[in-house]
Structure 1
């Protein structure tokens, strides 16, 4: 069987074919073109993928990827990208920063609203250069198809997801163009209702007693989200653009109910039975984002300036009713109010000379975040934190093509000043100042018909603001959660090699992460069974990632096989001695697309992972099968998808702490049907070129 599969893969190599024909003509259809020369027709197909500076560009327009439905569907099929319940991750690089036509993506649901047929190509940057922030470890750049024409254009799409509950979403986009002026806006409504079923087996080995806790948990989250934006773009002439955009995001009432039935045994003797009803109410009203930009060209100099203002207010209310056979009924509650704001500015200047490119730029951000946490009783302490942080950065980068090789090198300097306040008083020991250089270099070269890139980069990762919080959250009578104001930034070094030959892509990366920030579980007090989940800096963490992608095309069949191996060298202290967590994880995905003609496509996919370790967690195996069909009829697009049809996908894992081991089995409502109906008219794309500033800082907030 394996020999048959290998033979089929080889047979899909892009060959030039000739056949008898009678007419002299030239026709083009997507990525395949036909040239009729008298009595001969020559047919060829361009490569779908190619290497770029520190990344991989995948063509979408004219390929089978354009028929997948949404931009999210396209990205989930790219080499090195893992999609887990809608959350995207670049293997070994974490959550990517995503740009659409140079504009920073704020709301990830926009990926579900963007049609795959509107995408020109997608670039996954595994080694972002100096012009990106020192915390940006991966970037996804989406380029849409340029379309011409004045007047009104737009699209209306409705999506329905039927799983345990029904969840609808709607989107309207309008764009009016006259001459060099674009006025555009969109409105999106999303109603999400989910379901989770979970079983926890928790072992606590405290000094005096051993506890075994079995918990059955049902979770019912639901939320309504509104997103609106309006903006204008003015093309003054062919060399100068200016624009403004305002975005409003509101989640006025997000609710989540957790029902827990807990059986407690101490020293192998049944001791207690506890029921919890936990209710969360979260609101995020409003979220404001304003972007002003200028983009221009003066001779060989390209200039881009972006200014952003961002603000948001969050309110979280937690209430717990705890019913114990021993202790009776108790009621716990807390309120958490968070306000944050940020101003950022970023400018770049790019100069081209004799085939070489020189880039210079700056980026500054100023952030303030207030976090007030109040418990209803006195069982846990209150917290009142404030962080004021400013960052200034400058960078230089150069691209030097030398015959058939290419050198790209950059250097970025960032200085960050972070002031920490507790109860209104400045805390010197928890305030930080950093000033560091971050170099990067890419060397691209050919070997025969293959092309390779060897890269090195230095990055950092600053703690999320939530990780710096001193507030303590009550989960149950054995478990609390908090942040760690003493966290310091990580220092990350990556070395990677990537190569491509026709439809075969390969990459290997080694990462050394000094002062790695890792979630830990520690005793809340000595000789007590209570544990607290928090964060700490570990001396270092070594990781490696290997990606192999095969994407041939065999007539109407476009298979795509991706294998991602991720491993680490890590050990931690427990009460039972040193625990080594070095088992690698293999993520696999085999996707198939068959074009039946006349705009009709069918898809089938099997994906999953093996058992392996990640930080202090051992992920358990999981796999799922998805099928789908789509149909395009003029301005209409219809897509029906069935995900996890055998209900085998799991978010199960084992988490290790100093005296506590949490073994979790989890099903997260992945078996579902999704229907998308989209109508588009006069599909003119907005010319908005704002790229945003302070991108990573918004993510930390």
Structure 2
């Protein structure tokens, strides 16, 4: 992988100057202070920490907008570019004696020598990007892959270790896809928060939240960056991105443009068997899959800072992708003792176009914050699939499938936060309306359509209070959800009633309503209709003393089935297998208890989860002797996680470790598939960053899985090692990186 990284702040190089002066703090003493040269967007162009009274600083004057001298607990002194030019003689700027006055608004100052890069929160931790070496990296992917507890898979998917459905939030805005974060320049990122127990303001389907906050830019500026990444892994792929940012007056503009052309080629093998009484269907196959993918993204944004308290932000994102894959398989099947061999050819063409306009309004004072948002997302998908089976006895079968899908979601939210006399108050409401319409044509004869309407209305309120070293918080979220699903293929309805009563954790703060639903099988023309009203409580207690922090929390989460999990239309896999949804799939409810211990840069988390009606993937033999892959609900499942995170930095050597152990207790249909006493799943992740010489660094990452549960009954081992060597040029404006992901091809044997 060869990466040509960002070239930012597009201005011609100017004259080199020398800035000198003397610094004293009020009271006549000299202490540690910072000398910073700032760009027009308030990002740091160059900086130094000084301990002597005198300082000497060299830089390019045309590359900066201001010069700042600051120290913790004192008001900073700023010099504008014009002031520096006025004082300059023979390329030397003498600032004379600069006295910093005490900042009377700072009640308590604790100097620990080195700023901590990781701060512990009651339900997770945060990483300081702005004041660490991470801000000098070339691309967002380089930053996020170094965050403890987060893993980036070889194909680029961002994962939170131990969590299945994380949410990514940028400056308070919830993202439909973490791909939107790729536009961020690391120099503009302030902090990244990892929250393992999201608050009531987030949808209860998310089990983790990653929040990214960027720097405020107070001055007018313009900047541009270009990023190019070339990869070769059996096939060549290339990713390009250009970002233009500007600010004029109170309005900021940004335009993000991306183009990705990727080629892939993978080889796989598979053996499978499914029983029904004495009947057995088994199959073995070897195959290859290859094809190109093209993806284009255009995303303009505008932010209007109306005044110090009010801000309005408008965002639009358009994405178009095209994938054309070809799969060749050598297939052997044994259906009830009858053996056949076949070569299959499968072509799969997918086109997707998505539009996502959003509008956000924020009002913020010292004690109050109000946020109002409106979001619309639409994606059109067209998928054409052709499968040709050529048996050794001369038989030829052809299967044609044409899918068209239109997915739309509208969301609106109001969130209010306040801090009043030591009490933290939060309240808000959200509404979302999902519409998914699909049309399916098989072999140009059989046609059917499906429609899903899923509306959710939510209200929440929270309260928190601190008492010396202790703090308590509680919140309650109420959701009313209506689901209507219909399929046109058949005509006879099937009805079933489900009655669930969720027990209360505490009568003080929660009593759940009944959850009553009336399902109709979506393989019929009568709709599946269900109404739910659930209460989702949360409660946490935190103790903090110096570097020690202890927290105990409880919350309830829900995971609703997706359209594809409900949709019964069959999708071809191979001559004996297909995948189809299960219209009787119910929402999964989980009760979660977590305990967190942290000290300095070490975090240990114990997480217990009890799932009601969890989704599990199974294979079933149908009446026509085909293998049907689908999701079903099982009554209960329990998980116990033990996770440790440690981060440290020693001059040229930086590293962090994340280790996760997961125990399962799974029972289904009278069978015991796992108990807590059985061998657990284990995942380990190690990241090493080594400074080599000026501007050069070596990045190493290793991940290993043992007993990773793929399905209810299948487990496997996996892992990979990645390495990158980077070198910066032109005062960190240009960075070149060469490296490889999954160097030994151990992450997935079928790639």
TM-score range (shorter-chain normalised) is 0.7 to 0.9
Q: 1:90 to 1:617 in 2, by over 3 A?
A: farther
Q: 1:392 Cα shift?
A: 0.8
CA shift digits 1:630-688 (9 cap, x unpaired): 222222122222222223322xxxxxxxxxxxxxxx332xxxxxxxxxxxxxxxxxxxx
Q: Is structure 2 residue 591 aligned with structure 1 residue 524?
A: no
Structure 2 counterpart of 1:256: 325
Cα drift, residue 465 of structure 1: 1.2
Instruction: Give me the whole-angstrom Cα distance separating, in 2, the residues matched to 1:223 and 1:617.
Output: 33
Task: Spell out, residue by residue over 1:509-548, the C-alpha distance to the aligned partner (whole angstroms, 9 max, x if none).
Answer: 00011011122111112xx642100111110111111111
Counterpart in 2 of 1:289?
A: 356
After TM superposition, give the deviation of residue 78 of structure 1 in Å. 3.2
Match of residue 680, structure 2, among 574, 580, 584: 584
CA shift, 1:177, in A, is: 1.1
Q: Secondary structure at the match of 2:535?
A: strand
Aligned counterpart, 1:558: 654
Name the CA distance, whole Å, in 1 between partners of 2:384 and 2:414: 40
In the alignment, what sits opposite 1:311? 378
Question: 1:299 & 1:603 partners in 2: Cα distance?
Answer: 41
Shift of residue 206 of structure 1? 4.2
User: Does 349-358 or 338-347 show the bigger shift?
Assistant: 349-358
- Corresponding residue to 1:345 among 406, 412, 417: 412
Give the SS at the match of 2:302. strand
Equivalent residues in 2 for 1:228-243 (5 A)? 228-243=298-313
Q: Which residue of 2 aligns with 1:271?
A: 339
Distance 1:259 1:32, change over 3 A: farther
TM-score using structure 1 length: 0.83
Who is 2:248 aligned against? 178
Q: CA deviation at 1:327?
A: 5.8
Decide which structure has the larger Cα Rg and report it.
Answer: 2
Q: Deviations over 1:151-173 (max 9, x none)?
A: 32221111111111111111111
The answer to whether the Cα contact below 8 Å between 2:281 and 2:335 also exists between their aligned partners in 1 is: yes
Report the counterpart of residue 485 of structure 2 in structure 1: 420
Supply the distance in 2 between the matched residues of 1:32 and 1:439 (Cα, whole angstroms). 48
The higher-RCO structure (CA 8 Å, 6+ apart) is 1
Distance 2:138 2:715 in 1: 30
* Partner residue in 2 for 1:548: 644
Number of the residue aligned with 2:33? 26
Deviations 1:108-156 (A, max 9, x none): 3344443434322211110001111121211101122334431322211
Which residue matches 2:458? 393
SS in 2 for 1:553: strand
The superposition leaves residues 415-473 of structure 1 with CA deviations (integer Å, 9 ceiling, x where unpaired) of: 01111222299976221111011111221113663112211111101101111112111
Aligned length: 620
1:52 aligned residue: 121
Query: Is the 1:91–1:545 Cα contact (8 Å) retained in structure 2?
Result: no
Judged with a 3 Å threshold, the aligned counterparts in structure 2 of structure 1 residues 459 and 579 are, in CA distance, closer, same or farther, namely: closer
In structure 1, the residue matched to 2:750 is 667
More moved, 453-462 vs 89-98: 89-98
Moved more, 67-76 or 386-395: 67-76
Counterpart Cα distance in 1 of 2:182 and 2:736: 14
Please tell me whether residue 156 in structure 1 is matched to residue 221 in structure 2: no
Q: Quick one: distance in 1 between partners of 2:626 and 2:709?
A: 25
Q: Which moved more, 1:269-278 or 1:633-642?
A: 269-278
**Cα distance, 1:350 vs. partner?**
1.6
Following superposition, the deviation at residue 25 of structure 1 comes to 6.2
2:567 — aligned with what? 469
Q: Determine the C-alpha separation between the residues in 2 that align with 1:411 and 1:533.
A: 37
- Rounded to whole Å, the distance in 2 between the matches of 1:625 and 1:92 is 19
* Residue 200 of structure 1 pairs with residue 276 of structure 2: no
Question: Is it true that 1:404 corresponds to 2:469 in the alignment?
Answer: yes
Picking from 321, 332, 337, the partner of 2:399 is 332
Q: CA 1:152–1:80 in 2, change beyond 3 Å: closer, same or farther?
A: closer
Task: Tell me if structure 2 keeps the 8 A contact 1:213–1:263.
Answer: yes
Q: Does 1:593 align with 2:660?
A: no
Other-structure match for 1:355: 422
Worse-superposed segment, 395-404 or 422-431: 422-431
> Following the alignment from structure 1 to structure 2, what is the Cα–Cα distance between the partners of residues 618 and 34?
58
Q: For the residues of structure 1 that align with 2:298 and 2:453, how far apart are their CA atoms?
A: 29
2: distance between equivalents of 1:605 and 1:399?
A: 39
Q: Distance in 2 between matches of 1:296 and 1:113?
A: 26
Aligned-partner Cα distance in 2 for 1:388–1:314: 18
Structure 2 residue 436 is the aligned partner of structure 1 residue 372:
no
Q: Is the 8 A contact 1:276 1:320 kept in 2?
A: yes
In the TM superposition, residue 81 of structure 1 has moved relative to its aligned partner by 2.8
Q: CA RMSD in A?
A: 2.7
Extract unaligned runs of 5+ from structure 2.
1-28, 37-43, 55-110, 494-518, 521-527
**TM-aligned CA deviation for residue 77 of structure 1:** 3.5
Distance 1:464-1:182 versus aligned 2 partners, 3 A rule = same
Are 1:63 and 2:70 an aligned pair? no
- Which residue of structure 2 aligns with residue 73 of structure 1? 142
> Cα deviation per residue 1:46-77 (whole Å; 9 max; x = unaligned)?
22222224221122233344455433333333
Question: Which residue does the alignment assign to 1:514?
Answer: 612
Structure 1: where are the runs of 5+ without partners?
A: 1-21, 651-665, 669-701
Deviations 1:167-202 (A, max 9, x none): 111111112211111122221111121122111012
